[in-house]
Amino acid sequence: MPTRARHGREKEERRQSILQAAREVFFENGFYRATVDDVAGRAKVSKGTVYLYFESKETILALLLLEGLNELVENLEDAYAAAKTLSADERLRRLSRAYLSFFEEKPDYFRLLTATDRGRFQDSVEPSVYQEVLSASLKGLDWVGMAIQQGIDEGLFHCCDVRPAASILWATLNGVLDLMKHPLRREMVGLELEPLYQAALETVLQGLQSRE
């Protein structure tokens, strides 16, 4: 059934083009300033068509967030797997680099994830979806945790508990990205993102290795 297959593909393409349009206008104007009209206009479809593919504006946001987060998680997974034979600290460097790459390639997801007023989102979307977004946003912690556990097993780290250690590292990376995500703020700090990010990683690694 080639026609059916074609139809399916075209539908999926249309869906994707609406999602892409939403990504663009949400990023450009922020979720609240962006209107469904904007999204429709950008995707060159009518407003009604948007609602043919998606339940609501909030649903679109949720999908974008999940898409972004899932991509990040995949990147982390790959980085972790690719560094299978390496030492714990090297695996953590790979994980961190994967996170940085994601940030640099999809900066919009970051803005969306961090800058969207949660209040409205939280109660416009099904609780399960909200939970899913929240939990996906913490997946990174798990991979970092596994690498740190390896480091503890290998005797590299002397801290006694994995979860706090992983949280500290993850929070630090997030903190640096958040601090540097805004051009104006980058300018005010007077540093480049990449070297600072690397330095932060090494500092925390050092700190975790020192016996206290």
Binding residues for DNA (CB under 7 A): 3, 7, 10-11, 14, 33-37, 45-49, 51-53, 56-58, 124
172 near its own copies (CB under 8 A): yes
Q: Would you state the structure tokens that stand for residue 103, as one six-digit string? A: 């940030």
Q: Which is nearer to its own copies, 16 or 135 (CB)?
A: 135
Using the Cα atoms of residue 13, residue 18, residue 24 and residue 30 in order, give the sign of their dihedral: negative
Q: Is 44 exposed, middle or buried (0-12, 13-18, 19+ CB in 10 A)?
A: exposed
Tell me how far, at minimum, the Cβ of 56 lies from DNA, in Å: 3
Tell me how far, at minimum, the Cβ of 126 lies from DNA, in Å: 13
Q: Is 196 exposed, middle or buried (0-12, 13-18, 19+ CB in 10 A)?
A: middle
56 near its own copies (CB under 8 A): no
Q: Which is nearer to DNA, 4 or 84 (CB)?
A: 4
**Residues in contact with 147: Cβ distance below 8 Å, sequence separation at least 6, in sequence order:** 80, 88, 91, 92, 95
How far is 149 from 184, CA to CA, in rounded Å? 38
First to last CA, the chain: 67
Q: Would you state the structure tokens that stand for residue 85, as one six-digit string? A: 């034979």
| Residue 184 binds which of DNA, its own copies, none (CB < 5-8 A, kind-dependent) | its own copies
Q: Which is nearer to its own copies, 26 or 80 (CB)?
A: 26
Q: Would you state the structure tokens that stand for residue 202, as one six-digit string? A: 């090494």
Between the alpha carbon of residue 10 and those of residues 15, 60, 94, the distances in Å are 8, 19, 37
146 near its own copies (CB under 8 A): no
3-state secondary structure of 177: helix
| Residue 119 binds which of DNA, its own copies, none (CB < 5-8 A, kind-dependent) | its own copies
| Residue 181 binds which of its own copies, DNA, none (CB < 5-8 A, kind-dependent) | none
For its own copies, which residue of 118, 126, 154, 194 counts as binding (CB under 8 A)? 118
Task: Single out the segment in contact with its own copies by CB under 8 A; choices: 39-47, 49-57, 72-80, 161-169.
Answer: 161-169
- Which amino acid type is present at position 144? V
Tell me how far, at minimum, the Cβ of 117 lies from its own copies, in Å: 4
Task: Please report, as ranges, the residues that interact with its own copies according to CB under 8 A.
Answer: 28-33, 111, 114-120, 131, 134-135, 137-138, 141, 159, 163-165, 167-168, 170-176, 178-179, 182, 184-185, 188-191, 195-196, 199-200, 202-210, 212
